[in-house]
Structure 1
């Protein structure tokens, strides 16, 4: 065998497909850096023109679906952790409680054009990158 025909070892991480359907993202747990569950992804917001995922809509608090709060997290602050089988974001409960919120009635058809700058400014220290 020549160098060109020898089989290259395949890293197991390379075998995993990098894309995921939105329905599998919805319901995925979100953890902080201390491995504490802080909520779950309720939905994703996709920019119509670019097709980029702009935000993960985080649901947290409440009990059995009642009293839950929602807020968009810029997608760029989330990191998928295969060991956790969820997303990890470097925020504290205090940071979360002070973050801009989104009313549950706004989940469908949410238009963030008036508030996107404020969300990205708030999450900027965490490395949020604008999607636009």
Structure 2
């Protein structure tokens, strides 16, 4: 019964708790695992998820790179049990990214840089 109640609180037909999204695997278009959702960036005023920050590489949090992706880039795939992006690792590596402790200033300019790279302006 506790599992059903937890499911009810964390996920419905139309919504999902950020607790369930963090750590979810992200796969490239080739089906290979790219990384996992590290965290989400949410608009303070409109409450919309703007970006999913995907962690890639590293070991136990050391040496990871973080790739912010426009939320619309991710599609949940039940077969994979995670999100799929229509990109590959090389495309991610060519785009905006940062290392632990080097987080960018999440301002309008950075948002446009991320969105522009993925053609989401």
TM range, smaller chain: 0.7 to 0.9
CA offset at residue 93 of structure 1?
1.7
Q: Residue 113 of structure 1 corresponds to which residue in structure 2? A: 108
Q: Of 7, 32, 35, which residue of structure 2 is paired with 1:36?
A: 32
Asked whether 1:83 is paired with 2:83, we answer: no
Q: Structure 1 residues 26, 110: CA separation in 2 closer, same or farther (over 3 Å shift)? A: farther
TM-score (ref. length: structure 2): 0.83
Gaps of 5+ in 2: 1-11
Distance 2:53 2:90 in 1: 18
Aligned residues: 110
CA-atom RMSD, angstroms?
Answer: 1.8
Q: What pairs with 1:38-117 in structure 2 (closer than 5 Å)?
A: 38-105=34-101, 111-117=106-112
What is the match of residue 9 of structure 2?
none
The alignment partner of 1:62 has SS state of: coil
Which structure has the highest strand share of the two?
2
